């Protein structure tokens, strides 16, 4: 939220700088994320002054130029060549002097220099309004009033004032600080309590509010008291809609709002002043001169201020006239009832709406407005009428409006005042320090908490209506501490913290880690039935008939056995998605597979991965290649690495009934699962016409291996690593993991990583051969490696690799 320092200073007199005030606010819990300089005109017209054109003659060598002698208040006339058609003797103008930087509307800038224009010297520039960022006009120079003071800075003459904007990261509970007055209240409380400053919060007076005449009234009816506990309105006549005065425009521009007209700007101003949203209706557009606060009819059409027609929901609260909605309550106004240049009679609304109702409506229609931001967090029902009077008086001042009705105030809000009892002992315990009892009372008084009872043990306080987030003693104590100052909490000589104990790894926590890792890698979790067809299972070769666990009373002959593998469910899910034009799939499933043995039924918890389609999401910059077997292996290796088992795993090619190019996974010599491409016969049986790659891993094997790991700690290396590459020629049957193990066995001290970054198989190599390119990363934890050490280590690695049947090339 943006807070203007100039605006804030209206409510509290302080000698603080904006940055000092930001530091104090941050210490109270209103974290100020930054302070930025706001300039209504970039550069604040530095170097631009008021000048008097003493003489103006035609340029001797250019018909469209004039040579002017200009008094800048320095005692000597300056010659300036000007091309504006309206320049004339006797004018008061704005002159950019030599050295001035001119910032143009397109974002570019240039510096004024002494120059010659068609042979005549020119020492400055007489400016048009667009050249100074003061408007769009470029037909001629700006001509000032005759009483303009020669030599006066342009910023002073025009009344330009810079500002500082405090960017506050407001937490959702601090609804009281959603306006400048609320922020000023906290700043004053902190300064009075901590520094003993004699500061008063200067709230705008509304004592001048009075009805001046009685126009045709706008009647109000509230049909839903829960959604609208309070609704107030007043009619204003003789309204002259036009531009807002400069001071009001500057206030709004500083906080990032674009001025629209004086009526709308006043409602925005009061909203950001008091945190109470307002809405102005053109009263002459309200049919029947009625306001009805009701729920919308289902699919009721409504056109909002942005020109979009929206279908309303039956749970949307609307402000309607006698026939149709005029506004989505607390969210967005209507196009037909909004204030325009033709408006002369305004019905001004100030209300309190139920936070949940507004929040759901705003989300439902994708509307996030300044009003909904406040209503959906909760506004103070006690400020409704005060804000209405404040806006009416501003419209009287700025738009010539006359108050033409009594205030209609339908107040059905709860009148219960929250009281909270707390003890001084609670305060000392939660704050970790002793705060004198009188200081506690003074802080609460500064924050408008009324002490209704006090004794030696504690207090009972009434919570101000604008603090919708304070319900418990702990909430009140937090208020005391943030104003007293978190920095005053003493730091003990010793900090004691209980040890954080984690439960030992079990099947549940391992499953959670597996799922979180795979989801983070972009896989989607699926759930498939555990019942499959027995005949198809036997025909696939995955299990003999006696190995299947059959149901005694199956509901369907097609689903008569418990699954012996997760593959059938995965293929069913893939076929289902492909039939719906979803061909690029990466999924995983955790579940059980079942086998019948001589000792009874065996249930095994497994993790299954299935990948098919493109490797990457289709994008114009992305690689369009299809998924390969190595993509599934990559996912498994990443998973094993996450569990710390990458060095304990091994892959071995083996036959599998359902997979081609299958590999068996073992961890520490124990069988753990399978990996491979689904056989064409299985794909055909599920009507899947694209390759599918599948892996299945037993979770108990993973769990046992993880439990056997002893967690260790190693300092991050401080010395640089060295990379060396080798190109190898080897047989088709020699696998990378064998080369990797051989390298690590040969160089245990310095070798940190071995990676395969290129593979080639083709007619340029002998039959039965392939080419690998490996990278080796070496590092010493104690010193920088020398070339001699690296070469010796690589010599041992070459020898080991050649020993397993690879030929080093080049």
Give a three-class secondary structure readout of 348-381.
EEEEECCHHHHHHHHHHHCCCCHHHHHHCCCCCH
- Region of 347 please: left (phi>0), alpha (psi -120 to 50) or beta: beta
Give CA angle at 483 (471, 166), nearest 5°.
100
Dihedral sign for Cα atoms in the order 477, 480, 486, 488: negative
**Do the Cβ atoms of 448 and 464 come closer than 8 Å?**
yes
**Do the Cβ atoms of 407 and 291 come closer than 8 Å?**
no
Cβ neighbours, 10 Å, residue 359:
17
Q: Which of 296, 341, 334, 335 is nearest to 315 (CA)?
A: 296
Distance of alpha carbon 630 from alpha carbon 627, whole angstroms? 8
Dihedral sign for Cα atoms in the order 735, 741, 745, 751: positive
DSSP 445: H
Distance of alpha carbon 488 from alpha carbon 482, whole angstroms? 10
Contacts 24+ apart (CB under 8 A), 112-118: 112/47, 117/59, 117/62, 117/65, 117/81, 118/59, 118/61, 118/62, 118/65, 118/81
What interhelical angle do 507-520 and 699-708 show, nearest 10?
100
Q: Give the number of residues written for the chain.
A: 810
**Do the Cβ atoms of 409 and 351 come closer than 8 Å?**
no
Q: Which residues of 219-230 are buried (b: 16+ CB within 10 A; e: fewer)?
A: ebebebeebbbb
Q: Which of 333, 342, 337, 335 is nearest to 369 (CA)?
A: 333
Give CA angle at 621 (615, 625), nearest 5°.
25
Distance of alpha carbon 573 from alpha carbon 198, whole angstroms? 73
- Region of 469 please: left (phi>0), alpha (psi -120 to 50) or beta: alpha
* Bridge partners, 352 (sequence order): 230
DSSP 283: G
Give CA angle at 578 (684, 529), nearest 5°.
75
Determine phi and psi for 4, rounding to 5 degrees: -80, 130
Distance of alpha carbon 361 from alpha carbon 319, whole angstroms? 13
Q: Look up tokens 């706008």; give the residue.
A: 218
Distance of alpha carbon 535 from alpha carbon 483, whole angstroms? 76
Do strands 600-612 and 48-59 pair parallel, antiparallel, or not at all (unpaired)?
Answer: unpaired
Distance of alpha carbon 727 from alpha carbon 731, whole angstroms? 14
DSSP 625: P
Q: Going by C-beta distance under 8 Å and a sequence separation of 6 or more, which residues neighbour residue 161?
A: 6, 40, 250
* Bridge partners, 158 (sequence order): none
Q: What are the Cα distances from residue 57, in Å, to 66, 73, 130, 192, 634?
A: 6, 21, 25, 64, 83
Q: Going by C-beta distance under 8 Å and a sequence separation of 6 or more, which residues neighbour residue 619?
A: none
**Do the Cβ atoms of 801 and 808 come closer than 8 Å?**
yes
In three-state secondary structure terms, 768 is coil
Q: Which residues of 647-686 are buried (b: 16+ CB within 10 A; e: fewer)?
A: ebbbbeeeebebbeebbbbebeeeebbbbbbbbeebbebb
In three-state secondary structure terms, 591 is strand
* Bridge partners, 280 (sequence order): 348
pLDDT value of position 622: 67
Q: Which of 568, 598, 607, 606 is nearest to 688 (CA)?
A: 568
H-type alpha helices, 85-179: 154-158
Q: Look up tokens 């901590």; give the residue.
A: 194
Q: Which of 144, 114, 116 is nearest to 128 (CA)?
A: 144
Determine phi and psi for 44, rounding to 5 degrees: 55, 30
Give a three-class secondary structure readout of 555-577.
CECCECEECCCCHHHHHHHHHHH
Those residues of the chain that have pLDDT short of 50 are: none
Distance of alpha carbon 216 from alpha carbon 40, whole angstroms? 42
Rg (CA), the chain: 39
Q: Going by C-beta distance under 8 Å and a sequence separation of 6 or more, which residues neighbour residue 526?
A: 569, 570, 573, 587, 588, 589
Distance of alpha carbon 427 from alpha carbon 443, whole angstroms? 13
pLDDT value of position 727: 93
Distance of alpha carbon 396 from alpha carbon 399, whole angstroms? 6
In three-state secondary structure terms, 133 is coil
Structure tokens at 574: 């893939």
Q: Which of 614, 611, 618, 617 is nearest to 633 (CA)?
A: 611
Give a three-class secondary structure readout of 9-73.
CCCCCCCCCHHHHHHHHHHCCCCEEEEEEECCCHHHHCCEEEEEEEEEEEECCEEEEEEEEEECC
* Bridge partners, 652 (sequence order): 664
Q: Going by C-beta distance under 8 Å and a sequence separation of 6 or more, which residues neighbour residue 652?
A: 663, 664, 666
Distance of alpha carbon 102 from alpha carbon 95, whole angstroms? 11
Dihedral sign for Cα atoms in the order 534, 539, 541, 546: positive
Give CA angle at 562 (558, 564), nearest 5°.
110
DSSP 626: B
- Region of 588 please: left (phi>0), alpha (psi -120 to 50) or beta: beta
End-to-end CA distance of the chain: 65
**Do the Cβ atoms of 470 and 417 come closer than 8 Å?**
no
**Do the Cβ atoms of 71 and 150 come closer than 8 Å?**
yes
* Bridge partners, 71 (sequence order): 52, 77
Q: Which of 90, 112, 92 is nearest to 101 (CA)?
A: 112
């Amino acid at each position: 939220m943006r807070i203007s320092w100039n605006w804030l200073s209206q409510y509290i007199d302080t000698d603080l700088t904006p940055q000092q005030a930001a530091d104090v606010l941050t210490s109270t819990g209103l974290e100020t994320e930054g302070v930025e300089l706001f300039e209504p005109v970039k550069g604040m017209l530095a170097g631009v002054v008021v000048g008097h054109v003493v003489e103006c003659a035609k340029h001797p060598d250019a018909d469209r130029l004039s040579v002017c002698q200009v008094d800048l208040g320095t005692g000597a006339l300056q010659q300036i060549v000007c091309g504006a058609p309206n320049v004339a003797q006797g004018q008061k103008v704005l002159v950019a002097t030599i050295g001035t930087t001119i910032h143009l509307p397109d974002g570019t800038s240039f510096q004024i220099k002494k120059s010659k224009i068609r042979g005549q010297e020119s020492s400055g520039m007489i400016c048009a309004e667009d050249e100074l960022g003061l408007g769009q006009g470029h037909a001629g120079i700006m001509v000032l009033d005759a009483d303009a003071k020669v030599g006066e800075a342009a910023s002073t003459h025009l009344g330009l004032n810079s500002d500082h904007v405090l960017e506050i990261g407001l937490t959702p509970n601090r609804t009281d600080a959603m306006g400048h007055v609320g922020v000023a209240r906290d700043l004053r409380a902190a300064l009075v309590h901590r520094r003993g400053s004699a500061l008063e919060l200067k709230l705008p007076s509304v004592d001048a509010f009075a009805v001046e005449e009685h126009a045709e009234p706008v009647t109000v009816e509230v049909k839903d008291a829960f959604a609208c506990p309070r609704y107030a309105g007043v009619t204003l006549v003789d309204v002259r809609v036009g531009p807002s005065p400069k001071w009001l425009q500057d206030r709004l521009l500083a906080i990032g709002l674009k001025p629209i007209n004086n009526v709308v700007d006043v409602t925005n101003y009061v909203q950001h002043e008091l945190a109470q949203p307002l809405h102005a209706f053109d009263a002459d557009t309200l049919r029947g001169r009625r306001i009805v606060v009701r729920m919308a009819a289902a699919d009721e059409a409504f056109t909002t201020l942005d020109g979009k027609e929206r279908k309303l929901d039956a749970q949307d609260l609307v402000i309607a006239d006698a026939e149709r909605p005029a506004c989505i309550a607390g969210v967005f106004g209507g196009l037909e009832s909004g204030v325009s240049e033709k408006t002369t009679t305004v019905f001004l609304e100030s209300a309190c709406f139920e936070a949940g109702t507004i929040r759901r409506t705003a989300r439902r229609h994708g509307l996030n407005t300044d009003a909904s931001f406040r209503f959906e967090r909760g506004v103070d029902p006690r400020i409704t009428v005060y804000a209405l009077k404040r806006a009416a008086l501003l419209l009287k001042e700025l738009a010539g409006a006359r108050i033409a009705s009594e205030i209609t105030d339908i107040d059905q809000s709860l009148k219960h005042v929250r009281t909270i009892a707390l003890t001084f002992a609670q305060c000392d315990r939660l704050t970790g320090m002793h705060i004198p009892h009188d200081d506690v009372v003074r802080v609460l008084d500064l924050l408008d908490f009324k002490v209704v009872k006090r004794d030696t043990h504690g207090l009972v306080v009434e919570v101000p209506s604008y603090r919708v987030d304070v319900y418990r003693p702990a909430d009140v104590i937090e208020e005391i501490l943030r104003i007293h100052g978190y920095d005053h909490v003493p730091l003990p000589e010793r900090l004691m913290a209980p040890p954080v104990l984690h439960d030992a790894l079990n099947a549940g926590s391992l499953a959670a880690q597996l799922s979180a890792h795979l989801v983070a890698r972009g896989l989607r979790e699926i759930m498939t039935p555990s019942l499959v067809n027995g005949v198809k299972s036997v025909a696939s070769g995955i299990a003999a008939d006696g190995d299947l666990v059959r149901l005694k009373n199956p509901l369907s002959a097609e689903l008569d056995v418990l699954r012996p593998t997760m593959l059938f469910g995965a293929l069913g899910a893939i076929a289902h998605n492909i039939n719906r034009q979803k061909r690029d799939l990466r999924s995983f499933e955790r579940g059980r597979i079942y086998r019948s043995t001589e000792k009874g039924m065996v249930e095994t918890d497994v993790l299954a991965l299935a990948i098919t389609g493109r490797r990457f999401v289709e994008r114009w910059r992305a690689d369009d290649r299809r998924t390969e077997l190595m993509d599934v292996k990559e996912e498994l290796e990443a998973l094993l690495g996450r569990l710390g088992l990458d060095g304990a795993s091994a892959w071995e090619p083996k036959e599998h009934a359902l997979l081609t190019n299958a590999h068996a996974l073992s961890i520490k010599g124990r069988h753990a699962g399978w990996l491979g491409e689904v056989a064409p016969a299985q794909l055909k049986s599920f009507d899947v016409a694209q390759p599918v790659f599948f892996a299945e891993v037993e979770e108990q094997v993973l769990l046992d291996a993880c439990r056997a790991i002893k967690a260790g700690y190693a300092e991050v290396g401080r010395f640089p690593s060295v990379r060396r590459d080798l190109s190898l020629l080897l047989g088709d049957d020699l696998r990378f993991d064998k080369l990797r193990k051989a390298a690590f066995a040969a160089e245990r001290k310095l070798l940190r990583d071995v990676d395969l970054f290129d593979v080639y198989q083709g007619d340029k190599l002998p039959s039965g051969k392939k080419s690998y390119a490996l990278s080796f990363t070496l590092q010493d934890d104690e010193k920088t490696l020398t070339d001699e050490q690296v070469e010796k280590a690589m010599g041992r690695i070459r020898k080991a690799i050649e020993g397993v049947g690879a030929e080093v090339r080049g």
